[in-house]
A and B are shown apart, each in its own frame.
Chain A
């Protein structure tokens, strides 16, 4: 077993209620949920693999492919929606040349949408890694992605 998994398991006692926290720890460590880790969790908790897989696939937080260096989340909350979030999403998709749920070829950015960041009064907003960027406009977006070191030769 992977050393990293051992150190994750060291913090848990193997109860069924730990499935989701375990998956969260795995994602924190690896950036995603590698398939074999679900098997290891199932053995650790002593439940069928399907239980772990079932939980992992149910929740929006978990991903099964590696994530890019930077995680871009576009808020699709109601306030953001009425204040232009769809346009912001399209613009980012064009800027990064990927669709929602994908990662750029150079592995720099992953793009996803989230239900609501809770910054509704500063809508529309996006979240890059753990930082919320408020009152988004196409202009601000261009600035952010230039600053983030866009990996091309413009």
Chain B
């Protein structure tokens, strides 16, 4: 139990010793990334293989499970730390390779450059680049992600050894008004999407006189295509708890809630472990650090509703009601949970608060732009080579993110657009690739920063289909409370279904834009107010695609099923019958070694034949437009 500053100093000493067991142990240490993405790529099997090899070779060393370092495209990731050499990161490790690593690098001291992604530290190993010099890592500034994938998220001492809870120690010596001042001078803006200044938000709640106050951590990362918060929760959960403690101390709240979506079982598990540890250590509970400060945290599992990312809906959900928003004002900082002043901050905002107080406002503000300070995490996904979790200084351009860090578009395809901000954001086209990533520039481009999802799209992505996809999402997730959102999204979706289904007219495009403006203006909460953004930005930047759909009945990206057809190229077909066998509706005729033919009338355009064709360059082509009726 930490009861005084001296106790904390002793804990820090103990923590640095614990960490040195990883960093400079005489025995070899291996780490395996076992966050959700690592697990889905098979890291638990790798972990087992490593444990077995350690046993059979009777190696005196340890294997630690860590979180996510962000290089998802290289999962499963393994690190080998040996005292004599710099640590080496290895990617795409399977059980067989794991065994090789143990035999050659751990036992034999011969790193395997072929599997290596990079080395840590100054010293260089032949054939292996320095990790932070690689093109993916170089433009990044890792602050929030610094510990992710490096420390064991279930070991409190690892966190403390990296200045963990030092931010709380420092904040508790400050007066709440000084804390607000530091937040303001650092220029921290909410990382959940809207970018509201955190200092100002807290200040509202400080000024309130109330029986109770609450801190809520919004971990309901609902944007499809975003996973930054999941990674932070799985890899560095104490950072979020510490941020909540600082917030609680500042506004005088004694209770906190973490509202985390149930779809993140591992994040929930690691949060629960961290919470118990912090309670046992005396960081959370009654009489924190020997003062009269009390703070308790409860974890609430979300039950699957996108709208609950909206503050007032989230409050309703915690209270056990349907997650429906209410009008603001009053803002939750004045009247929130159970009618009491409540501060709701996103996971990354709270993790940033911890870092800010572990360091200083100047440290925080050294990166970023005039009005968008600091660094921001993004999940980079879609049609990009290096998918994963990244952290960059605000103000970096989209081009740098997609082409330098992301490595560009795979399979020699052309970049078409990047979607930021999820269903509330928009699609930004090629000629705006040099837009700096900050709150205001993205807004000017018709999109929003959002919580940090970046989905890259290439020439094979149909922008009308993307708009339809998002509208389908928001229509399903609309809570139904206000008319513009409930009916407006439905009508917009109907029009988009008509267009992608081949029944659109030229007037539909303008009608859609008009409806979109109405929904934007008339909706009660952020969900409805931003739902039209994907439609509006795609009409603004990709009107030609809409026109091809309605005028020429052609889907240029070859996605919308009603506006494409499949054909076998006779010169390329080898008559292997792969497509013939896989076709679920028997639309393909053909005998072995003879050219096959697709019957376009029977074909349901499922695309299985296309994905099964073994011919190099594919013997099946997808043709935009309606099939010509003449062929018999």
Q: Which residues does A use to contact B, with CB under 8 Å?
A: 15-21, 23-24, 45, 51, 54-55, 58-62, 76-84, 87, 90-91, 94, 114-123, 125, 130-134, 137-139
List residues of chain B with CB within 8 A of the CB of A18. 320
Contact of B321 among A21, A55, A90 (CB under 8 A): A55
Known contacts A78-B453, A83-B382, A121-B37, A115 near B224 by CB under 8 Å: yes
Residues of A within 8 A of B75 (CB): 122
Q: Does B182 contact A (CB under 8 A)?
A: no
Within 8 A of A (CB), among B289-325: 300-301, 303-306, 317-324
Q: B432 within 8 Å of A by Cβ?
A: no
B347 at the binding interface (Cβ < 8 Å): no
Whether the Cβ atoms of A24 and B262 lie closer than 8 Å is: yes
In the bound complex, CA of A138 to CA of B306 (Å): 29
Docked complex Cα distance between A55 and B9 (Å): 48
B203 at the interface (CB under 8 A from A): no
Chain A residue contacts of B461, Cβ below 8 A: 82
Q: Is the CB of B469 within 8 A of A81?
A: yes
Given contacts A16-B320, A116-B263, A121-B37, is CB(A61)–CB(B388) below 8 Å? no
A91, A94, A118, A131: which contacts B227 (Cβ < 8 A)? A118
Bound-complex Cα distance A45 to B396 (A): 52
Contact A61 B262 (CB under 8 A): yes
The reply to whether A118 and B319 form a contact with Cβ atoms under 8 Å apart is no
Closest residue on chain B to residue A133 by CB atoms: B40
* Closest chain B residue, CB of each to CB of A79: B381
**Per-residue interface assignment for chain B, residues 375 to 393, with 1 indicating a CB less than 8 Å from any chain A CB and 0 otherwise:** 0000111110001110000
B residues 452-485 near A (Cβ < 8 Å) are 453, 455, 457, 461, 466, 469-470, 473, 477, 479
Complex formed: what's the CA distance from A82 to B469 in Å?
10
Chain B, residue nearest A18 (CB): B320
**A122-B419 in contact given A55-B320, A114-B263, A132-B40 (Cβ < 8 Å):** no
Distance between Cα atoms of A58 and B321 in the complex (Å): 9
- Taking a contact as CB atoms under 8 Å apart, the answer to whether A122 and B40 are in contact is yes
A sample of 13 more A-B contacts (CB under 8 A), given A15-B320, A82-B457, A118-B226, is A17-B319, A20-B320, A24-B262, A58-B323, A79-B382, A82-B461, A87-B607, A115-B304, A115-B473, A116-B227, A116-B263, A118-B221, A131-B40
B222 and A115 form a contact (CB under 8 A): yes
Name the B residues within 8 Å of A125 (CB-CB): 40
A131 contact set on B, CB distance < 8 A: 39-40
In contact, A79 and B455 (Cβ under 8 angstroms)? yes
Contact of A60 (CB < 8 Å), options: B225, B304, B606 = B304
Q: How far is the CA of A129 from the CA of B79 in the complex (A)?
A: 29
Q: Which residues of B contact A87 (CB under 8 A)?
A: 606-608, 611
* B265 contacts partner chain A, Cβ-Cβ < 8 Å: yes
A25 to chain B, nearest CB (A): 10
For the complex, count residues of B whose C-beta is within 8 A of A: 61
* Most chain B CB within a 10 A radius of its CB, from A15, A19, A134: A134
Q: Please give, as numbers and ranges, the residues of chain B lying within 8 Å of A82 by CB-CB distance.
A: 382-383, 455, 457, 461, 466
Give the docked Cα–Cα distance between A137 and B529 (Å).
Answer: 36
**Chain A minimum-CB-distance residue to B266:** A130
Note all chain A residues with C-beta closer than 8 A to B320.
15-20, 45, 51, 55
- Cβ-based interface call for B584 (8 A): yes
Residue pairs across A and B with Cβ atoms less than 8 A apart, 20 shown, are A15-B320, A51-B320, A54-B322, A58-B323, A76-B473, A78-B419, A81-B224, A81-B469, A82-B383, A84-B607, A87-B607, A115-B224, A115-B477, A116-B263, A118-B264, A120-B226, A121-B227, A121-B380, A133-B40, A139-B612
Cβ-defined contact, B305 with A118, below 8 A: no
Residues of B within 8 A of A115 (CB): 222, 224, 263, 304, 306, 473, 477
CB distance from A108 to the nearest CB of B (A): 20
Q: B305–A58 contact, CB under 8 A?
A: yes
Determine whether B422 belongs to the interface, using a CB cutoff of 8 Å to chain A.
Answer: yes
B36 at the interface (CB under 8 A from A): yes
CB-CB under 8 A from B599, the residues of chain A are none
Shortest Cβ gap from B386 to chain A (Å): 9
Output the least CB separation between B545 and chain A (Å): 15
A residues less than 8 Å from B324 (CB atoms): 58
* Closest Cβ neighbor of B469 among chain A residues: A81
Looking at the assembled complex, report how far the CB atom of B45 sits from the nearest CB atom of chain A, in whole angstroms: 12
Within the complex, what minimum Cβ distance (angstroms) separates A92 from chain B? 12
| Contact assessment for B457 and A138 in the assembled complex, using a CB-CB cutoff below 8 Å | no
The interface residues of chain A lying within 8 Å CB-to-CB of B226 are 116, 118, 120
Q: Which residues of A contact B300 (CB under 8 A)?
A: 20-21
> In the complex, which of the residues A62, A116, A138 contacts B582, with contact meaning CB atoms closer than 8 Å?
A138
